[in-house]
Structure 1
Amino acid sequence: MMPVEMGFLFVLLILGCLCSFVFPDTQGDALYALKTSLNASAHQLTDWNQNQVNPCTWSRVYCDSNNNVIQVSLAYMGFTGYLTPRIGVLKYATALSLQGNGITGSIPKEIGNMTSLCRLDLENNKLTGEIPSSLGNLKKLQFLTLSQNNLSGTIPESLATLPILINVMLDSNNLNGKIPERLFEVSKYNFTGNNLDCGHRLCESDNADQGSSHKSKTGLVVGIVIALVVVLFLGGLLFFWCRGRDKGYRREVFVDVPGEVDRRIAFGQLKRFAWRELQIATDNFSEKNVLGQGGFGKVYKGVLADNTKVAVKRLTDYESPGGDAAFQREVEMISVAVHRNLLRLIGFCTTPTERLLVYPFMQNLSVAYRLRELKPGEPVLDWPTRKRVALGTARGLEYLHEHCNPKIIHRDVKAANVLLDEDFEAVVGDFGLAKLVDVRKTNVTTEIRGTMGHIAPEYLSTGKSSGRTDVFGYGIMLLELVTGQRAIDFSRLEEEDDVLLLDHVKKLEREKRLDAIVDRNLNKNYNLLEVEMMIQVALLCTQATPEDRPPMSEVVRMLEGEGLAERWEEWQHVEVNRRQEYERLQRRFDWGEDSFYNQDAIELSGGR
């Protein structure tokens, strides 16, 4: 058994790494925008990943116990870009340190939105323009350092209204005009090296130079103190938790279902819900709250006690000996898959007869709904939104396949499982569910999970799935986006057309009838070249042989315009050879057009 100290440090590291899976997207977006605007090189801030929702694990970023960014320290890194206005989103940040770089441009007025700032240090850069009056909104600001820049104009009167300002360094700029009287009352100030009117006052306090020369050390000390406080706080919580656990302490939870347990997953930020909570939230799983139903069970809209809207998935087909423990392990695996294009798992509930998963409610529902189930008056998805959905879905699947350990295979990729958030950004849902309901099986899944028309041929024939199985389903989803039609539609038989959407599109593509492929609801408001590109990607993804399909990382690149032309030309060459071989065989055996074997041959050579 490992020593207590090592166990403490290990658990603390785990908590630190996983403390931020529910972090708001906007803070990560703002920090990544800052990295871009500062012209960070390929070797700087390499762990600042724009697709990682939570920036609390990024270097030089510090968060509090609630996963709010409280400090950003990017001093002396040689940046030459500008300050993005989006940094104003960091309203919980108490310290922003960017001194000692070559940052140009003006100080964005949006910094005035960072109302928790105690320290703002932009010393020794190449900033120009005026000091924004919005800095007067920073009522908690104590240290303001703008020395050694090229700032001009007057010192805004709003700075004099800051109630607890104790240190203001504005020396070595091009400022002019009169200095607000209140600024002479702070403990340390330095206005030298400007064209300012200091009146009968000294332009520098007696200890200003000392403060200026030790600002970086002070910032370091403050950062260390904050870090120690956070570590001690987490350590204290962990200590009491461990003691309670050793004494057999168990938190009381209201349980009204026999056999329901209160084992809690100390991993990520998952919540274990009581059955009663979800029963009340969904109005006893009322049919009027059903959002959808699929192979894994029904999904209900629910409202928790704090008025949070959620989607509750009630899983079916899961019974297995010892299944509860296996189920929890798989839930843990799903919970650590965090990406802006993946649906975040909030929590779960298990009883001897039930398994439920709780997700955020997506107010714009699914892509399938927006394509085919709209109520009168609701707008259809426009073409730019469909393009964003295609790329976002591809990025989410790429993350599951190539950045999760172990990797996660979705096994039911379709428009109905791609949800839309309030900004109509794609959010892939239901990933990992096939594994959850198959915990009693071996690693080789023998039961087919998925939706007909979306299932890859090798999965149907062998029952074995892989990442390329998802690629096939993704290709069909692209065709749904372009056409607005279902993967299987028997109404097409009335027009003597193909039942399968893939065969229908391939036929029209060979005939160069792209306009006949596109969803009529778009009313010709689309870019035909972009339609052609998306169809090409879809057909490459739906090739018959799994090895011929591109991995999702390559799909992302092709959708971004890289490498598609070469891959498509290669595929066309193969298809021509296949078609010629089929025609040769047809002439050789002289099969009738309506022959069963002829139909089967077409199916096998169809690249599905």
Structure 2
Amino acid sequence: MSCFPCFTSKVKKTNSKDANSRSSSESPPHEARNRNETPKADGGPNINVKAFTFWELASATKNFRQECLLGEGAFGRVYKGQLENSGQDVAVKQLDRNGLHGNKEFLQEVSMLSLLDHENLVNLVGYCADGEQRLLVCEYMSLGSLVDHLFEMKPDQEPLSWPTRMNLALGAARGVEYLHEKANPPVLYRDLKSSNILLCGDFHPKLSTFGLGKAKSVGDKMQVSRVMGTYGYCAPEYSRDSQFTLKSDIYSFGVVLLELITGRKAIDTTRPMDEQNLVSWAQPKFRDPKKFPEMADPLLKRRFPEKSLNQAVAIAAMCLQEEASVRPLISDVVTTLSFLVASKEENMCDTTPLPSLPPADSGHEKGGDSSEHTSDHEDEGSDCSKSGSQEGSEEESEEEHQHDHNRPSRDGSEQGDHDSGDECHSAVTGSNEWGSNSSHNSNSL
């Protein structure tokens, strides 16, 4: 895998020392290296984060005790830890020893991760490559993942408000935009899902980078032999041909956006058969704008601007096109979501013009049935603690929005139609700008 040498970074070139020559006269026995120090002298990649000893990380996680375990995914277990010297809380991922990580491959992946720097990506703090041990150390995200606040809420937990949901979608889209269009060469995420969107204390979203070590730089087309996606989020072309492009990430983002809109899981086997696959359930509704309001999460209790809902559904529909070439670029998604969020969320003026989108009705009734390709069913996104209650996500006053604590069930009857008529229709059929841009750029993938 490429070491991504074209990334802009500020790595200092220093005289490397042998990795095994750490005498106590040079540094404390378990002291991590300086952030800018190159880890190897044999032509290995430059790494812009700390190299920890296994002893340090064992100490930080109380010898990897069960009480510190945050979750377990396809590549290993994730523990909460606290660094002894700084007191910083971190998430420590102990990679499976039976995985495919040789020392050279692992260090190349760490090098790539260390060069990624964006406010919507989880920050890599350091790594460990002692003997056969392979560990990654990332910043700890105190509110866990999107799953904890959308699908696995505590009884006394408030549902996410509409403005918060759109802010989360925008933050996730900006993280993908950085990987696709700002990183050089571009990076494919390949496993975008709600459990990989992690949250800070102020509900600031960041994409987990634990799985990014397996991401690839983008060629004309990338064919993969190892399954990386998750069933329900995989694009049709990945399921059919094991081919993955930038537009495959767009599809996965569309599934996440649809989850935020509807409060439904991508795959939910507890629902009736015809509702178990979220995208298959939504596709017929995309073709009838009058049904958009009934797609909204019942827990929202209709507390959303209908114009904003219509536009969000239209964005999701475009991202979920079966034909990859007509899906939008992630920069287009960011632009439109930015406009929605900037339009004062709860009090969006009806006279404010919204960017128009091309028709979502492409005649693909089963575009979201992402296959019999059963990818990683384990959630990588349990990388962080499932703690905390929502802080500051509701900006509405109590006087205006008093409600009882017996929230309506998502399994209850669906909301009735709003006769949104021309407004809904214009949100989906305004112009072909996105489709033409996406088609024009698809050849560059």
| TM-score for the superposition, normalised by structure 1 | 0.50
State the match for 1:587 in structure 2: none
* Contact 1:268–1:335 (CA under 8 A) maintained in structure 2: yes
The unaligned stretches of length 5 or more in structure 1 are 1-13, 20-233, 256-261, 580-601
Which residue, out of 358, 363, 374, partners 1:568? 358
For residue 341 of structure 1, give the secondary structure of its aligned residue in structure 2. coil
How do 1:351-500 residues align onto structure 2 when only pairs under 5 Å count? 351-430=130-209, 433=212, 435=214, 444-493=223-272, 497-500=274-277
State the match for 1:18 in structure 2: 10
Which residue, out of 366, 369, 373, partners 1:603? 366
- Structure 1 CA distance, aligned partners of 2:241 and 2:184? 25
Q: 1:382 to 1:459 in 2, by over 3 A?
A: same
Q: 1:332 to 1:604 in 2, by over 3 A?
A: closer
Deviation at 1:456, TM superposition (A): 0.7
Deviation at 1:492, TM superposition (A): 1.8
- Structure 2 CA distance, aligned partners of 1:552 and 1:443? 18
Q: 1:286 to 1:250 in 2, by over 3 A?
A: closer
Deviation at 1:336, TM superposition (A): 1.0
Q: 1:319 to 1:266 in 2, by over 3 A?
A: closer
- Structure 1 CA distance, aligned partners of 2:166 and 2:287? 23
* Contact 1:311–1:361 (CA under 8 A) maintained in structure 2: yes
RMSD between superposed Cα atoms in Å: 3.4
Select the structure of larger CA radius of gyration.
Answer: 1
- Structure 1 CA distance, aligned partners of 2:314 and 2:66? 41
- Structure 1 CA distance, aligned partners of 2:145 and 2:368? 33
The unaligned stretches of length 5 or more in structure 2 are 1-5, 31-37, 341-352, 372-445
- Structure 2 CA distance, aligned partners of 1:550 and 1:457? 16
- Structure 2 CA distance, aligned partners of 1:604 and 1:487? 13
Whether 2:110 is the aligned partner of 1:331: answer: yes
Q: 1:273 to 1:434 in 2, by over 3 A?
A: closer
Which residue, out of 288, 308, 312, partners 1:530? 308
For residue 455 of structure 1, give the secondary structure of its aligned residue in structure 2. coil
Deviation at 1:424, TM superposition (A): 1.0
Deviation at 1:273, TM superposition (A): 1.2
How do 1:261-276 residues align onto structure 2 when only pairs under 5 Å count? 263=39, 267=46, 269-276=48-55
* Contact 1:362–1:419 (CA under 8 A) maintained in structure 2: yes
Q: 1:391 to 1:485 in 2, by over 3 A?
A: same
* Contact 1:410–1:434 (CA under 8 A) maintained in structure 2: no
Deviation at 1:434, TM superposition (A): 5.5
* Contact 1:290–1:301 (CA under 8 A) maintained in structure 2: yes
Name the structure with the higher helix share: 1
Deviation at 1:275, TM superposition (A): 1.2
State the match for 1:92 in structure 2: none
Whether 2:79 is the aligned partner of 1:300: answer: yes
- Structure 2 CA distance, aligned partners of 1:539 and 1:461? 21
Whether 2:288 is the aligned partner of 1:508: answer: no
How do 1:204-353 residues align onto structure 2 when only pairs under 5 Å count? 242=15, 245=17, 250=22, 254=29, 263=39, 267=46, 269-305=48-84, 306-316=86-96, 319-320=99-100, 323-353=102-132
* Contact 1:312–1:357 (CA under 8 A) maintained in structure 2: yes
State the match for 1:519 in structure 2: 297
- Structure 2 CA distance, aligned partners of 1:249 and 1:279? 21
Deviation at 1:491, TM superposition (A): 1.8
For residue 111 of structure 2, give the secondary structure of its aligned residue in structure 1. helix
Identity of aligned residues (%): 34
Paired letter, 1:498: E
Which residue, out of 324, 333, 336, partners 1:555? 333
Deviation at 1:409, TM superposition (A): 0.7
Deviation at 1:403, TM superposition (A): 1.2
Q: 1:276 to 1:527 in 2, by over 3 A?
A: same
Deviation at 1:315, TM superposition (A): 2.4
- Structure 1 CA distance, aligned partners of 2:139 and 2:149? 19
Paired letter, 1:525: R
What per-residue deviation string (whole Å, max 9, x for no partner) do you get for residues 563-601 of structure 1?
Answer: 9754333x33xx2xx37xxxxxxxxxxxxxxxxxxxxxx
* Contact 1:543–1:607 (CA under 8 A) maintained in structure 2: no
- Structure 2 CA distance, aligned partners of 1:529 and 1:462? 38
* Contact 2:187–2:216 (CA under 8 A) maintained in structure 1: no
- Structure 2 CA distance, aligned partners of 1:529 and 1:318? 50
Deviation at 1:386, TM superposition (A): 1.0
State the match for 1:131 in structure 2: none
What per-residue deviation string (whole Å, max 9, x for no partner) do you get for residues 337-385 of structure 1?
Answer: 1011111111111244332111111111111111112223233321111
Q: 1:293 to 1:508 in 2, by over 3 A?
A: farther
* Contact 2:69–2:78 (CA under 8 A) maintained in structure 1: yes
Q: 1:471 to 1:485 in 2, by over 3 A?
A: same
* Contact 1:490–1:499 (CA under 8 A) maintained in structure 2: yes
Paired letter, 2:146: V
Q: 1:331 to 1:318 in 2, by over 3 A?
A: farther
Q: 1:473 to 1:316 in 2, by over 3 A?
A: farther
Whether 2:321 is the aligned partner of 1:543: answer: yes
For residue 409 of structure 1, give the secondary structure of its aligned residue in structure 2. coil
